[in-house]
Amino acid sequence: MDFKRTIAGLIAPENVGVDEVYAALAPTPDITKGDVCLPCFKFSKALRKSPQAIAEELKNRLDESGCDLIEKSAVEGGYLNIFYNRSKAAEELFAEVKRNGGAVVAKEQSGKTVCIDYSSINIAKPFHIGHLLTTVIGGSLYRIYKYLGYNAVGINHLGDWGTQFGKMISAYLRWGDDADIEKRGVRALLDLYVRFHAEAETDKALEAEGRAWFKKIEDGDPQALEIFGKFKDITLKEVKRVYERLGVEFDSYAGESFYNDKMQPVIDDLRNKGLLTESEGATVVDLEKYGMPPCLILKSDGATLYATRDLAAAVYRKNHYDFYKNLYVVAYQQNLHFRQIFKVLELMGYDWAKDCVHVAFGMVSLEGQGALSTRKGNVVFLDDVLDAAVQKAEEVIDGKNPDLENKKQIAAEVGVGAVVFGALSSGRIKDLSFSLDKALSFEGETAPYLQYTHARCRSVAERAGEVKGKFDPSVLRDDDAFTLVRLIGEFDKTVETAAEKYEPSVISRYLLDVAAAYNRFYLNCRIIGQAPDVSYTRLALTSLVAEVLEKGLNLLLIKAPDKM
């Protein structure tokens, strides 16, 4: 249901076009001033007329169309304000929901594939708060694209290559304690690594030993690979536990080492295309013309680099998945890296370089959680943040609703949801200062507030039981109800915009609007115990709102319990 489309089709002038009018039509913030508004100055140039004259003209077209979806329209300066016929609009919305089998159903497969590289953790390194944004933005985009009918491919481009893994093996063989590693996992591996560097200060043989082990990994030595495999298993076991808590999934864990045998053809290709030059012994692609430092392809000893692997990975993804878009959800610190990679791909003659996008985001810091960071050194483990949030959620629930069934599970859904929403509620590029207390508040722009509103809808329905009435769209004509009708009609468009901008927060903002509108409706309009048609219709609206909140939260990786 997209009334804006209908309107655009009715009024679009020849040399402007439906799409442009559609894009310009904006919901009016004040529902008493109309439902959608068209700022006509946008077409002045194309039509060589004043905005006011255009607005008058389009109003006439609309009047003449006799479209029963429109109640009236009014020209205000250079703006055309359009009022829907509320009964008609409500009727259409519900008819469409019925046809669809629900207000929010995933779109048909488009056949297009979107690769999303996110989380992309490093082996034997802690999974910390710094990974929160990439993990949940990527995880959410994954669900958003699936909802929109794309074939989404979630890729965890593991950091599993580099000389440090040789050092890790040498440290492990010298001081490793399997029982400790079993117990403390990545933390124990990290300690080994720290110890290696401390001892290497005095023991000069260590560096060489580490290098030798790395060489063995490169040469495929079974012992080296076995130990390295163990590091990988331990790390993945830990992160997968967190992924499960967050509801994040991947289709591929092909990390940096996966491209070991896939770089040579790319290097040859670069050379054949005359793109490689020598610089201080290293082999690079000169990007000076494009205002960038050179992209490093091979070190002077012939070793490949992060960029070499990313080039091979992009080519592989194109060949293997034939993506329509190839997204990298990686911190803005790697801006230059991706600009270089995309430029090199372009210079190689790949027109799909334009389909590669760096979905950058800001930094996260945690307010007042000193305790969390000191317990395990100076990194804040994501798992610990989630634990703390769940514990706080449990305390809140104990205070508000101590007899709640399934308290543990709901506390987990609320606590984890609060953290995720905290990460997805503001524009991704902003640095984020995160406060657990604020995230868990039931008032304000939080997940618990949205979850609570959803649970409120479900409980109204439950309390009402079966109401013998019929759907009467005129019941939804008052401002509070109609605001909701309008919003529900914007769900799909909202998800599309979130995908276009790679910005799950578009959905977050929308859900906050829906929840606020529902709570106003709930306060002002009685639902239960009215004339049967009134109760019935308001309940129908309530369940649509619940469905929209649940689906929307789900696209943000957040659960919506029926009770809390």
Contact predicate 127/381, CB 8 Å = yes
**Contacts for 539 with CB less than 8 Å, ≥ 6 apart:** 460, 461, 464, 467, 527
Residue 232 makes contact with ligand ARG by CB under 6 A: no
Residue 159 makes contact with ligand ARG by CB under 6 A: yes
Q: From 50-58, 116-124, 432-440, 452-460, give the range in contact with ligand ARG by CB under 6 A.
A: 116-124
| Angle 120-214-284 from CA coordinates, rounded to 5° | 65
Q: 317 vs 392, which CB is nearer to ligand ARG?
A: 317
Smallest separation (angstroms) from ligand ARG to the CB of 235 = 12
Residue 339's Cβ-count burial label (10 Å; 0-12, 13-18, 19+) is middle
Catalytic residue among 4, 128, 167, 454: 128
**Contacts for 516 with CB less than 8 Å, ≥ 6 apart:** none
Residue 147's Cβ-count burial label (10 Å; 0-12, 13-18, 19+) is buried
125 is catalytic: yes
Catalytic residue among 59, 131, 167, 392: 131
Q: 27 vs 130, which CB is nearer to ligand ARG?
A: 130
128 is catalytic: yes
Give me the sheet containing 282-285, strands edge to edge. 276-279, 282-285, 295-298
Residue 441 makes contact with ligand ARG by CB under 6 A: no
Residue 157 makes contact with ligand ARG by CB under 6 A: yes
Residue 160 makes contact with ligand ARG by CB under 6 A: no
Q: 120 vs 304, which CB is nearer to ligand ARG?
A: 120
- Paired strand residues for 293: none
Residue 78 makes contact with ligand ARG by CB under 6 A: no
Distance from C-alpha of 514 to C-alpha of 198, rounded to nearest angstrom = 55
> Which 120-139 residues touch ligand ARG, going by CB under 6 A?
120, 122
Binding mask 318-347 for ligand ARG (x = CB under 6 A): ----------x-x-----------------
Of 35, 91, 92, 117, which one interacts with ligand ARG (CB under 6 A)?
117
Smallest separation (angstroms) from ligand ARG to the CB of 106 = 28
Q: Identify residue 46 by its one-letter amino acid code.
A: A
Q: 328 vs 361, which CB is nearer to ligand ARG?
A: 328
Q: From 16-24, 114-122, 167-175, 531-539, give the range in contact with ligand ARG by CB under 6 A.
A: 114-122
Distance from C-alpha of 97 to C-alpha of 89, rounded to nearest angstrom = 12
562: Cα separation from own chain's centroid: 24
Distance from C-alpha of 491 to C-alpha of 510, rounded to nearest angstrom = 8
Structural element, H or E, at residue 278: strand 276-279
Smallest separation (angstroms) from ligand ARG to the CB of 328 = 6
Smallest separation (angstroms) from ligand ARG to the CB of 171 = 21
Binding mask 287-316 for ligand ARG (x = CB under 6 A): -----------------------x--x---
- Paired strand residues for 155: 117, 252
Residues with a known catalytic role? 125, 128, 131
Kindly list the residues in this chain that would bind ligand ARG in the complex (CB under 6 A).
117, 120, 122, 157, 159, 310, 313, 328, 330
